[in-house]
Amino acid sequence: MDTIKLKKIELENCSPVPTMDESKLNKFWDEVLRGFEDRPLEIQSSEEETPYPGMKVSRITYKGFDETPIHAWHIRPGWIEPSTEYTAPCVVTFPGYTGDRGYPERYAHWLMLGYNVLAVDVRGQLGETGSLLPLDSGAVKGWVSQGITNLQQSYYMAAAMDAVRAVETASQLPGVDTKRIAVVGGSQGGGLALLCGALSPFVAAIVADIPNMCRMDYGVLHSASSLNEIAAYIKRHPEQLDLILSHLAHFDMLNLAPRIKAPVLVSVGWKDNICMPETVYAAYNRIQASKEIRDYPFSGHEINEYQKREAVSFLSRLFEASSSADGKST
């Protein structure tokens, strides 16, 4: 048996012990989600000019975790008249760490399929979205260590609920088929996509490419990117190690994976030193819903064109099947 096959077997058997009791974790998130049930999203929308006749774009803001207005694009195929009752799937996308939602044309491949897109910023990072989250203690450069010793006011809590409420926002946008909402992203965006799948009832499909937020304690020890900021914080404050790891466990897809009910497509690069395969597989192996994984033994922290097509094929199959089952024409 060659080394590639042996590595695949090793990853398929990667099953570290969860870092948080499942009943305690479920109770925590059920209480958090109930606390947001009656909070208005305060969605605002305005038309945005675009040089591309094939798309219609609206600038969207909604209220996420706090009073911070979260910015997003709602992008629709240009040939669909807004006055019609036509509804189509919606792909909610999240960027990688330090990134932003970019220009609307970044999502043209989804429009070519006739889908809506809600492209969302992550607070405080490169996009237009700021953050009103109070910073009552020091932090390492970057974002994820902000408030890390205060679970309820941590950056991870804010980013998580911003993402969950993005999916709820998508469900209220015109032209969106609420039964066909997918969450999509890579790296940080892949982690947020998985997290939304675990926490939002609106998610019908998940594409998580090279996802972060998986087996986070392992990532703190080994990762070369965002979780390395947490490592730097602990290096300065070693007495807070246990507290910080216990907080991270609430957002770790290793622990949240069993909550996922929607079909999932995951990709993983075996040479990735940011979202390492030992972290991705650890979470993937605990997903109990319908799932598929794409391995790229010679890829690092990247999403290649082949995988982009795989994501398109995956969602097309799911949405066409659900459309046929519902008797819809799209």
Does 301 qualify as catalytic in the annotation?
Answer: yes
pLDDT digits (tens, 9 = 90+) for 313-330: 999 999 997 765 666 555
Number of residues that this document lists for the chain? 330
Residue ranges of domains in the chain, CATH in brackets = 3-39+83-94+123-319 (3.40.50.1820)
Rounded CA-CA distance 153/156 in Å is 8
Does 250 qualify as catalytic in the annotation?
Answer: no
Tokens of 252: 């770790």
Q: What is the pLDDT of residue 327?
A: 60
Q: Which of 171, 187, 200, 299 is catalytic?
A: 187
Q: What is the pLDDT of residue 324?
A: 58
Could you identify the residue written with the tokens 């008249």?
81
Tokens of 250: 């609430």
Beta bridge partners of 44: 61
Q: Which of 250, 272, 295, 299 is catalytic?
A: 272
Angle of helix 241-248 relative to helix 226-236, nearest 10 degrees?
150
Q: What is the pLDDT of residue 321?
A: 76
What's the average pLDDT block by block, 10 residues per block, for the chain (330 residues)? Answer: 95 98 98 97 97 95 98 92 80 98 97 97 98 93 96 98 98 96 98 98 98 98 95 97 98 98 98 98 98 98 98 97 62
User: CA 213, 218, 223 angle in degrees (round to 5)?
Assistant: 75
Does 272 qualify as catalytic in the annotation?
Answer: yes
pTM: 0.96
Residue 315's nearest CA partner among 93, 162, 60 is 93
**Is 97 marked within a binding site?**
yes
User: How many CB atoms neighbour CB 239 within 10 A?
Assistant: 7
Q: What is the pLDDT of residue 83?
A: 59
Q: What is the pLDDT of residue 85?
A: 77
pLDDT digits (tens, 9 = 90+) for 279-301: 999 999 999 999 999 999 999 99
